[in-house]
Chain A
Amino acid sequence: MPDTLSWFTVLFAAVFTNNILLTNYLGMCSFLGASRELKTATGLGSAVIFVMTTTSVLNWVVYYGILKKLGLEHLRFIVFIVIIAAFTQIVEMIIDRVSARLYAALGIFLPLIAVNCAVMGASLFMIIREYTFIQSLAYGFGSGVGWTLAIMAMAGIREKMVRARVPQGLEGAGIALIIAGIMALAFTGFNGMMNIS
């Protein structure tokens, strides 16, 4: 069944109809923590796109190339988390050496991303839905873009919200969750177009 989905369908669904943040609640911690400024959100978002795309592909190769052949599928949690953590560490070191400007923009976010549930979540979803290699690539990239879209929209709204009066007790995370809920509501409007879950 999953083989019939074209890579474009998977990509589109990952960004809009099955947005990893707004329909699966993954990556909430950094979403709530780093969405106060648009600039930070953009930096974190681009780092997430990069890491999610590469780790999905890496994890796909390792899962089907090594774990499945040896019958060690139950070790996938441990292997995935190590790959993600090691990858972010290596990328951080490379960026630090190569470009100071890029490091200032992305580098500080990379350690945070290692424990971002969305990155791990994308890899696990891709295994459970039995995606092919191309579909996994599209799914990893699409999920990253979808997450970035959500956090940038959120940061844009929150920047405008600074001067708004919020009911007592609802400041900070509370109002952010309500905004996220309304955004999720808007995104469910895409559901009629396609659904991959």
Chain B
Amino acid sequence: MARSRSAKIFRENMGTNNPVFVQVLGICSTLAVTNVLKNTVVMCLGLVFAVSMTSVTISALRKGIPSQVRMIVELLVAACYVIMIDIGIKAYAPDISKQLGPYVGLIITNCILMGRAEACALTSPPWIAFVDGISSTLGYSYVLMTIAVVRELLGSGTFWGISVMPPGWVNWSIMVMAPGGFFMLAIFMWIIKKFWLIPAQGGATNA
């Protein structure tokens, strides 16, 4: 029973209930770093760690948290994990830490984190909460990494910092600037909805 429930949650968070293109949550802090793939990967790993660990912790403590102060408890737990991530990145990848700037700290206010804690961790046992946290952030990560690959490729002509475009390639500087992120995310959502989600639902949602 528990096993099939966790498998179902995992599948849903990857596809039909994906936090980015279905729920449109949590794009704040991470979209900003999608102009370079390496930064995106580091940021996404940080997010996966922070959200899954926060979900487990909240879920383990759920009977002891008074409902009036649950928001601040969630934020405090998240902040502890984010501080660990920040120190870790600073120690092992100081260059990336400098480039990420304030965005690591902003994982705390990422809506996915609060959303998962409120929607799942407060009512489920730790294992379910862990699966939910890790799958929703993985579902989020693959979307952002796809965006990052396209933006880096078109914007700087590189992949993971290595030049791959043919000589004479002119960089689309719009892609590394802010508007490129908005357009890429919108196009990605459009393609996914048009060719996957709407056909999957039998074309029922032509609102």
Show the binding face of A for B, using Cβ within 8 Å: 22-29, 32, 74-78, 80-82, 85-86, 111, 114-121, 124-125, 127-128, 167-175, 177-178, 180-182, 184-185, 188
Contact = CB atoms under 8 A, between A and B. Distances in A.
B42 to A, nearest CB: 17
Chain B, interface size category, equals 35 or more
B178 A25 contact: yes
Given A32-B24, A170-B193, A81 B75 contact: yes
Contacts of A121: 29, 102, 106, 109
Contacts of B76: 78, 81-82
B191 to A, nearest CB: 8
Contact of A128 (B71, B102, B183): B102
A25 B33 CA distance: 10
B198 A169 contact: yes
Nearest to A116: B109
B83 interface: yes
A162 B190 CA distance: 19
A145 B30 CA distance: 23
Given A114-B71, A125-B102, A184-B179, A77 B79 contact: yes
B111 interface: yes
Most chain A beta-carbon contacts within 10 A, residue among B27, B32, B102, B185: B102
Most chain B beta-carbon contacts within 10 A, residue among A74, A78, A82, A86: A78
B194 interface: yes
A120 B193 contact: no
B178 A77 contact: no
B106 A124 contact: yes
B193 A174 contact: yes
B83 A115 contact: no
A178 B109 contact: no
B182 A85 contact: no
A24 B101 CA distance: 11
A82 to B, nearest CB: 7
A77 B186 contact: no
